Amino acid sequence: MKIVRFSCGGPIAYGLLEGETIRIIDGTPYSSYTVGEAVFALDDIRLLEPAVPTKIVAVGLNYIDHAAEIGMEPHDEPIIFIKPVSTTIADGDAIVYPAMSSWIEYEAELAIVIKDITHQVSVEQAPAHILGYTCANDVTARDLQRKDGQWTRAKSFDTFAPIGPCIETDIDPNNLKIELRLNGEVMQSSNTSNMHFKPDYLVSFVSHIMTLCPGDIILTGTPPGVGPMQIDDEVEVEIEGIGMLRNKVITL
Ligand code: MG
């Protein structure tokens, strides 16, 4: 099932993506809901961020092939950081190149969307607390990340967390092709099987640090091939079985 959040001029609604159409649901995917009768064409609506998190927890250096690329060993525990929720944008929205930076980079990532209140759960309990998975781009001001010595500014500019287009609820996250294209050219190509810490482990790990809430997002790290984006670039993150997230870089 592919869950979307959308606007068609009226109130914001959740729906089920079925090919090129969306069937509205009455309620939210975080509670009980019923599938409604109204159907909308994708062309007639605006897709919004599929989740509205209270926090975005991101994992650094989680792909074995990415760690090897930069000559590092994976950490023995996940290294995590937070992106503020003001970073989120939807499929089709613009990434704004911040004036403070002169080097921003893309990072294609699988995003976990949390289903309900999740507090100190085991790895075995974690799947029951995951609503599904979406595509994300952990946009990073690499020059500021190096300059500051910690990551808050570099990871936190408005528009630095594109997510979408939908939340796929029925998928095994541990063997999915993940690809990033910049202006049509493949820049990152890997498989989520190369993750060192798997999604269920990450949910359990983070839940022992902070209570996760419905809609919260965990970004699971990026594969090899990160690189810079320029103004006017178009960047696409595609994950097998989920869909494609497309955003353009602009300046204000
Ligand atoms: Mg990242």
- Reduced to 3 states (helix: H, G, I; strand: E, B; else coil), residue 70 is coil
Terminal CA-to-CA distance of the chain, rounded, Å? 37
Cα(158) to centroid(ligand 1), Å: 16
Task: Name the CA radius of gyration of the chain, rounded.
Answer: 17
Cα(41) to centroid(ligand 1), Å: 33
Cα(66) to centroid(ligand 1), Å: 11
Give phi and psi for 25, each to the nearest 5. -115, 150
Kindly give the confidence (pLDDT) of every residue in the chain, 252 residues in length, as a single tens digit, with 9 standing for 90 and above.
Answer: 999 999 988 889 999 999 999 999 999 999 989 999 889 999 999 999 999 999 999 999 999 988 888 888 888 999 999 999 999 999 999 999 999 999 999 999 999 999 999 999 999 999 999 999 999 999 999 999 999 989 999 999 999 999 999 999 999 999 999 999 999 999 999 999 999 999 999 999 999 999 999 999 999 999 999 999 999 999 999 999 999 999 999 999
- 125/172 same-domain check: yes
- 17/138 same-domain check: no
Cα(23) to centroid(ligand 1), Å: 33
Cα(216) to centroid(ligand 1), Å: 16
Residue 60: the pLDDT is 92
Question: Dihedral angle at the C-alpha atoms of 163, 168, 171, 173, nearest 10 degrees?
Answer: 10
| CATH number for position 41 | 2.30.30
Cα(15) to centroid(ligand 1), Å: 28
Q: Answer yes or no: are the C-beta atoms of 19 and 134 closer than 8 Å.
A: no
- 15/108 same-domain check: no
**CA distance linking residue 105 with residue 244, whole number of Å:** 18
Residue 154: the pLDDT is 98
- 138/220 same-domain check: yes
The domain total for the chain is: 2
Query: In terms of Cα–Cα distance, which of 87, 48, 84, 55 is closest to 165?
Result: 48
Residue 74: the pLDDT is 81
Domain limits for position 166: 56-250
Cα(34) to centroid(ligand 1), Å: 36
